[in-house]
Amino acid sequence: MSKHAFVFPGQGSQFSGMGKNLYETNTLAKELFERANEILQFRISDVMFSGTDEQLKQTNVTQPAVFLHSVIAFKTLQAATPDMVAGHSLGEFSALVANNTLNFEDALKLVNIRANAMQKACEINPSTMAAVLALPDDKVEEICAAVQAETGEVVVAANYNCPGQLVISGSMKGIEVACERMKAAGAKRALVLPVGGAFHSPLMAPAKEELAAAIEATAFHTPSCPVYQNINAYPVSDPAVIKQNLIAQLTGAVRWTQSVQAMVADGATHFTECGPGKVLQGLVQKIYKEALADGVN
Q: pLDDT 10s digit of each residue in the chain, 297 long?
A: 789 999 999 988 899 999 999 999 999 999 999 999 999 999 999 999 999 988 888 888 999 999 999 999 999 987 779 999 999 999 999 999 999 999 999 999 999 999 999 999 988 888 999 999 999 999 999 999 999 999 999 999 999 999 999 999 999 999 999 999 999 999 999 999 878 789 999 999 999 999 999 999 999 999 999 999 999 999 999 999 999 999 999 999 999 999 999 999 999 999 999 999 999 999 999 999 999 888 888
Query: Which residues does 107 contact at the CB level (< 8 Å), separation at least 6?
Result: 67, 71, 93, 94, 96, 97
Confidence at residue 80, expressed as pLDDT on a 0 to 100 scale: 79
Is the pTM here over 0.85, yes or no? yes
Q: What angle do CA 169, 171, 174 make, to 5 degrees?
A: 85
Assign domain 3-123+202-296 to its CATH architecture.
3-Layer(aba) Sandwich (3.40)
Q: Which of 70, 88, 94, 200 is an active site residue? A: 200
Confidence at residue 292, expressed as pLDDT on a 0 to 100 scale: 87
**Cβ neighbourhood burial of 283 (10 Å; 0-12, 13-18, 19+):** buried
Query: How far is 271 from 273, CA to CA, in rounded Å?
Result: 7
Confidence at residue 2, expressed as pLDDT on a 0 to 100 scale: 87
Query: What are the sequence ranges of the domains in the chain?
Result: 3-123+202-296, 134-192
Element (H, E) at 158: strand 155-162
* DSSP three-state, residue 36: helix
Q: Which of 13, 45, 70, 89 is an active site residue? A: 89
Residues 134-192: name the CATH superfamily.
Malonyl-CoA ACP transacylase, ACP-binding (3.30.70.250)
Confidence at residue 130, expressed as pLDDT on a 0 to 100 scale: 96
Judge whether 3-123+202-296 and 134-192 match in fold.
no
* DSSP three-state, residue 238: coil
**Residue 89 a catalytic site member:** yes
Element (H, E) at 295: strand 292-296
Q: Which residues of 114-152 are buried (b: 16+ CB within 10 A; e: fewer)?
A: bbbbbbebbeebebbbbbbeebebebbbebbeebbeebe
**Residue 200 a catalytic site member:** yes
